[in-house]
Chain A
Amino acid sequence: MVALFLRLRLAQFSHSLRRRPTELLGLAILLALGLVLTGYAIESFADISELALGEAATRGILSGALITLGFLLLPLLTVPDDIADPRVFGPLGLRAGIVARGLAASALISVPSVLLIVTVLAYVLAWSAHPGVALVAVLSGVLIIATTVLGARLTRSLAVIVFSARRLREMAGLLGVFALLSGLPFALSLALGMRESSLAERVAEAASAVGASPLGLAWAAPADAAAGDIDGALGKLTLALLFLAVLWLLWYALVARMLRTRGGVDPSLEVAGRGLGWFDVMPRTAAGAIAARSLSYWVRDGRYKLALAVIPVISLAVIVPFLVIGVWWQNLALVPLPVACLFIGWLLHNDLAHDSSALWMHIAANVPGWADRLGRAIPVLALGIVVIALLAPISVLLYGDWTVFPSMLGVCISAVFSGVGISSYLSARMPYAAVRPGASPFAQPQSSGSAAGQAVSFFLIVLACLPSLLLAGMELAEGGDWGLYSLLAGIGVGLLVLVLGIAAGARVFSRQAPELLAFTLRN
């Protein structure tokens, strides 16, 4: 039976080559990329037999775990149109065990799997050069391949289930990019850390931690054996085997479940019940309804979710370079929150364009400009206030000196409030082409035109933050009452810009609503 699955897989494989030349070119480029990555991995593993033991272990474990992680996460990135979906076999009435085994085995026949096998072979050979490691290396090699291929197979099917609803599918790609972005600082610090001896220690610590995690267990076993710790190596192999068994059970359960269920039903809508969602929470006015609609979009629409998901990544990524060059982390604890607040204030700067032509509903109902502007501002203001309330104390706690708390609040409030104000004005005054509703958030807008609003709004927000930022700087430098002034300046400037921005935006909206609709139609 398993042989049948393998033949099916081979047939699929040959069919996938019957494509148009352009698609084949794309495949060829991907293949070339895969080959280059494989070559790179093999070359770095080849040094293992010559490097000092500790360094070899660090490099092997970290790059190995990265490879396994990539195999687990990549299926989430790709569009889940799984031709080997277990559900396809539902009508055949096969037992779950047969399907699970067959599909797992056929997962070995794919370009990434073959490249993985080659890479692992290089790893095993490199460690086998050390005396008495060969057996452990071969065993761990087998475990690595089995774990990685099965894990990838599992996440692929999980992706199909979890992201079955079309809207959630957008989230899949989003998560992928999120993972990539958060992996970037890690890779960066790894690359830099290898050079600097002081950081090499920390990287080595990280490697041993990764080596004890499910991702790195099998990769770490040969290193232990080479260091003479045979018991440790065998222990790791046993744990890796256990992890593989857990993966297998999960895979089996998943296949069994997928064979039973047919088609995808979006669970988020089944629980919708008779309520009106956010509309029940918000005030029963036009502005309240617009706020509820905005909130629904912030949580439902891939374009909005992408914007939200990027904020924590950016605000943390900002401090990575400083960490790498050796700035003490406590001094950096104050940085991420204001950066996050800056971007929260900026979120709205092209909100109107995201409505696309649905904007007509506001114009037909003659919604007053202030209600439109205020309604859109409320969710972002609420988000900003919650974020500040939760994270400002934590940031200051990490920094370790409570005297900076007022100025921290001042800068953050200034960023959120004046940011929302400026964005409220500029999203009506300088909208630019946005991705259409329902399109992938990563898609390019159909027409480009000037996107000056983007830069202008960001610049103005930074400008509005300057007073409280400068006063906060004085506080850090001299102490005293400067922090309090910073707080007052932040609240004062923030509220002023917020009110002015919403009023100005409302005026533009009321006067130019038809022109704004015409703008969204041009995209």
Chain B
Amino acid sequence: MTQEPAAKSTPFSIEQALSRFDLLIDQLEARSPGEAEPVVDTLTPDGVTAQAGAVTSAATTAGVRQSERPRSAVPLQTDAPVVLSVSGLVKRYGSTVAVDGVDLEVRGGQIFGLVGPNGAGKTTTLSMVTGLLRPDQGSVLVSGRDVWVDPAAAKRDMGILPDRLLLFDRLTGRQLLYYSGMLRGLDRDTVVARSGELIAAFDLDDAQDRLVTDYSAGMTRKIALAAAMIHSPRLLILDEPFESVDAVSVATVLDILRRYARAGGTVVLSSHSMDLIESACDSVAVIAEGRVLVSGTTESVRGDISLEDRFVSMIGELQPGEDMEWLRSFSD
């Protein structure tokens, strides 16, 4: 449904595209009224209770919060198709196990957050999910197609923004967008029209004819994000999309992502900013030491404290800090 040709009507603005998304949402809602029973797709390890009933109440108590932080859409639907299914993913480097059996299930039409402390294996997991890093074990299915068995079909549905990888930065921003579009096999007119809209949406007009190597870190992030979207994928996998992006741009990008999710698109993003994940994501998975500790709707994972507190308490149990007695007995 996101594959609609955005280029056909000529004086085309991102606003129009977004309003069309809105229309689509309305239609979806009209088709299934009242069925939106907010039940959670749960994956509950020990200690985390995420029963459906508890979550429903959590969702209602969180109603106030929800209004101040608008999420992508109507409550999650359990009958939404599973867009991304990861099972038993393992990656070892010598004797260290970077990712130790990660299972994830992400349903369509939502923003899914991946949080975890530094070195938890987020980037490694996402690299394997996106087909950039060959896993030692496990499988990754995108809309039912295995990334590592049928990469052509799986990658067509996926737009990705890796962390810490370079772009072809000796191209101008516009050339880079064109390049990604052509690599994806789009036709020229579509690419040109879409790049124009993306450049406008990400507020890169002034920079579009400058070399990407001369961009600031935040601008580079934005042009990479635009490049990830140009083939209108069903699934966006974004590793630290908001790193060094300014607050205004974060709001803009989040707005775009929410509308995208409301139109049926799926976003999987990782971040170390709890606030951001809490306000942006419908579901989260907490990952630490290469394993998924808990996964579910943001409300169910959070309980009645903030996501950050929940996260800290979970990770804290996992990694009890040293006493560091010496730090309190100051030397003179």
List the interface of chain A (C-beta within 8 A of B): 166-167, 269, 272-273, 276-277, 279, 284-286, 288-290, 292-293, 296-297, 300-301, 355-358, 360-367, 437-438, 514-515, 517-518, 521
Contacts and interface: CB of A to CB of B under 8 A. Distances in A.
Contacts of A364: 130-132, 155, 158, 160, 162
A515 B170 CA distance: 24
B176 to A, nearest CB: 9
Nearest to A510: B151
Nearest to B160: A364
B305 interface: no
30 contacts: A166-B214, A167-B211, A269-B172, A269-B210, A269-B211, A272-B209, A276-B174, A279-B175, A279-B178, A279-B179, A284-B182, A284-B187, A285-B182, A286-B182, A293-B168, A293-B171, A296-B171, A297-B170, A300-B170, A357-B165, A360-B162, A360-B165, A361-B183, A364-B132, A365-B180, A366-B152, A366-B155, A366-B156, A517-B132, A517-B133
A296 to B, nearest CB: 6
A362 B168 CA distance: 10
Interface string B146-190: 000001100110101010111111111011001110111101100
B209 A293 contact: no
Given A272-B209, A289-B183, A514-B133, A361 B178 contact: no
A518 B168 contact: no
Listed from nearest, the 4 A-B pairs whose CB atoms lie closest are A289-B182, A365-B183, A366-B155, A357-B165
A140 B162 CA distance: 65
Contacts of B183: 286, 289-290, 361-362, 365, 367
B77 interface: no
Given A361-B179, A362-B183, 10 more contacts: A167-B213, A286-B183, A288-B182, A293-B179, A360-B132, A363-B131, A364-B160, A366-B131, A438-B169, A517-B132
Interface of B: 130-134, 151-152, 155-156, 158, 160, 162, 164-172, 174-175, 178-180, 182-185, 187-188, 209-211, 213-214, 227
Contacts of B133: 514, 517-518
A69 to B, nearest CB: 33
Nearest to B151: A366
Nearest to A282: B182
Contacts of B211: 167, 269, 300
B24 to A, nearest CB: 26
A296 B180 CA distance: 15
Contacts of A515: 134
A517 B133 CA distance: 8
B220 to A, nearest CB: 12
Nearest to A301: B170
Task: Pick from B151, B172, B175 the residue with the most CB of A within 10 Å.
Answer: B175
Contacts of B152: 366
A30 B175 CA distance: 44
Given A366-B151, A366-B155, A272 B172 contact: yes
Contacts of A365: 155, 180, 183-185
B155 A514 contact: no
Given A289-B179, A296-B171, A438-B213, A363 B187 contact: no
B223 to A, nearest CB: 12
A514 B179 contact: no
A514 B214 CA distance: 28
Contacts of A289: 178-179, 182-183
A364 B188 CA distance: 19
Contacts of A361: 167-168, 179-180, 183, 227
Contacts of A521: 165
A358 B220 CA distance: 13
A286 B165 contact: no
A27 B167 CA distance: 38
Nearest to B227: A361
A292 B164 CA distance: 25
Contacts of B165: 357-358, 360, 521
A514 B134 contact: yes
A285 B214 CA distance: 27
A166 B169 CA distance: 14
Task: Pick from B167, B182, B185 the residue with the most CB of A within 10 Å.
Answer: B182
Contacts of B174: 276
Task: Pick from B131, B179, B187 the residue with the most CB of A within 10 Å.
Answer: B179
Contacts of A301: 170
Nearest to B172: A272
A515 to B, nearest CB: 7
Task: Pick from A277, A361, A438 the residue with the most CB of B within 10 Å.
Answer: A361
A459 B133 CA distance: 33
A358 to B, nearest CB: 4
A289 B176 CA distance: 10
Nearest to B174: A276
Given A272-B209, A284-B187, A364-B160, A355 B179 contact: no
B170 A269 contact: no
A307 to B, nearest CB: 15
Task: Pick from A356, A366, A518 the residue with the most CB of B within 10 Å.
Answer: A366
Contact of B166 (A356, A362, A363): A356
A299 B178 CA distance: 19
A323 B60 CA distance: 91
Contacts of B166: 356-358, 437
B170 A276 contact: no
A514 B172 contact: no
Contacts of B179: 279, 289, 292-293, 361
A288 to B, nearest CB: 7
Given A269-B210, A360-B132, A363-B131, A286 B185 contact: yes
A296 B132 contact: no
B188 A284 contact: yes
A273 B172 CA distance: 11
A293 B179 CA distance: 8
Contacts of A363: 131-132
Contacts of A285: 182, 185
A288 B171 CA distance: 15
Contacts of A437: 166, 169-170, 213
A473 B221 CA distance: 58
A166 B213 CA distance: 10
Contacts of A284: 182, 187-188
B209 A358 contact: no
Contacts of A288: 182
B178 A276 contact: yes
A284 B182 CA distance: 7
A388 to B, nearest CB: 28
Contact of A296 (B158, B175, B209, B210): B175
Given A284-B187, A285-B182, A358 B168 contact: yes
B166 to A, nearest CB: 4
A293 B167 CA distance: 12
A308 to B, nearest CB: 15
Given A284-B187, A363-B132, A277 B175 contact: yes
B173 to A, nearest CB: 11
Contacts of B155: 364-366
Nearest to B152: A366
Contacts of A367: 183
Nearest to A355: B168
Given A365-B184, A438-B213, A276 B175 contact: yes
Contacts of B187: 284
Nearest to B214: A166
Contacts of B180: 361, 365
Contacts of B134: 514-515
A167 B213 CA distance: 10
